[in-house]
Amino acid sequence: MMNKVAASGLLTLDLERFVPPAEQSAVFDLKEHLFMGLILKEKDFREGMKNFNWQPYADKHVAVTCTVDAVIPVWAYMLLTSYLQPIAREVYLGTPAELHKHLLLRNITAIDIEVFRDQRVVVKGCGEIPIEPYAYAAITQVLLPVTRSIMYGEPCSTVPVYKKR
């Protein structure tokens, strides 16, 4: 008996492979370095940054955020970055969710599109890790210029998205 899916010539693309591993990310919350959890005192902040143990952030993508409603001067982010940059893989100003989105989109746009040139591609629709719609839109933008067709779902049950004319 012939396997029709295998014989179809479809390439399956699983977006889960672009999800950044959680263990490669860390969060630096400025809240922990504020006076009474609300106020940034320059002298105390500078001293705290100078004496802080930066080792847990080594080789990590670091989301720098503040989880309380406090006014943080711009120079504080600059100072913090000057300490993180030499040790971290990347410093990202934003929430952990925003960092995750940034990394996922960067991974998607870095793919070798030549692998998909003139191919019929199925972007896998479900898996173990939830994938947000922005990732599906991004992969469509990347693949559109080079593929023959793009489908969504599983090779045995696809929804047509694009077909080159």
Q: Tens-digit pLDDT profile for the chain (165 aa)? A: 433 444 458 999 999 999 999 899 999 999 999 988 888 999 999 999 999 999 999 999 999 999 999 989 999 999 999 999 999 999 999 999 999 999 999 999 999 999 999 999 999 988 888 899 999 999 999 999 999 999 999 888 899 999 998
Q: How far is it, in rounded angstroms, from Cα 56 to Cα 135?
A: 29
What pTM was computed for the model? 0.87
DSSP letters of 41-56?
A: -HHHHHHHHHH---GG
Q: For the chain, how are helix, strand and coil distributed in percent, rounded to 5?
A: 40, 25, 35
Q: How far is it, in rounded angstroms, from Cα 165 to Cα 148?
A: 9
